Copies of this chain bind each other. A is one copy, B any other.
Amino acid sequence: MPKKDLENDESTLDRLTRLGKKLRNQLEDSEEDDLTIDTQVRSKTNVEYDEEEGRLSLGDSYSTRKFLNISHARKFMQTTLVANKTKELVENGRTASIREVYYQLKHSVPGLDENTFEDQDESNNVVVDIETATGAIREDLHLFAEPKGRLFGPITINDSGDSIDCMAMGTSGLAIPSIVDHYEFEEHSADFILVVETSAMVNRLVEEDFHKEHNVILIGTGGQPARGARRLINIMHNRLDLPVYVFTDGDPWGYYIYSVLKSGSMSLAFQSDRLATPDAKLIGMTMEDIDAYDLHHVTEDLKGKPEDSGGPTKDFKRIRDVMDYEWMQKDEWQNQFQKMLDKGVRVEQQALASQSLQFVANEYLPKKIEQDQFLD
Contacts and interface: CB of A to CB of B under 8 A. Distances in A.
Interface in A45-99: 94-97, 99
B173 A169 contact: no
Given A159-B169, A161-B170, A207-B95, A144 B200 contact: yes
A189 interface: no
A174 B170 CA distance: 10
A171 interface: yes
Contacts of A179: 171
Interface stretch (A101-109, A125-133, A282-290): A101-109
A60 to B, nearest CB: 35
Given A100-B204, A297-B108, A168 B163 contact: yes
A342 to B, nearest CB: 22
Interface stretch (A25-33, A270-278, A322-330, A349-357): A349-357
A160 B171 contact: yes
A222 B147 CA distance: 9
Given A170-B159, A177-B171, A203 B353 contact: no
| Range of interface residues on A (Cβ < 8 Å) | 35 or more
Contact of A175 (B106, B107, B175, B178): B175
Contacts of A203: 95, 97, 144, 147, 177-178
Contacts of A104: 353-354, 357
A97 B164 contact: no
A281 B207 CA distance: 36
Contacts of A159: 169-172
Contacts of A298: 103, 106
A107 B160 contact: no
A54 B182 CA distance: 45
A139 interface: no
Contacts of A15: none
Interface of A: 1-3, 94-97, 99-104, 106-108, 115, 119, 144, 146-147, 150, 157-164, 168-179, 182, 199-200, 203-204, 206-209, 222, 297-298, 300, 348, 350-354, 357
23 contacts: A1-B208, A96-B204, A96-B353, A97-B204, A99-B348, A99-B350, A100-B204, A100-B350, A115-B297, A119-B300, A157-B170, A157-B172, A158-B170, A159-B171, A169-B175, A170-B177, A171-B179, A171-B182, A172-B176, A172-B177, A175-B175, A177-B203, A178-B203
Given A100-B350, A146-B200, A164-B168, 15 more contacts: A1-B206, A100-B200, A101-B353, A103-B298, A103-B350, A103-B353, A104-B354, A106-B297, A107-B354, A157-B172, A159-B170, A162-B168, A162-B170, A172-B175, A173-B174
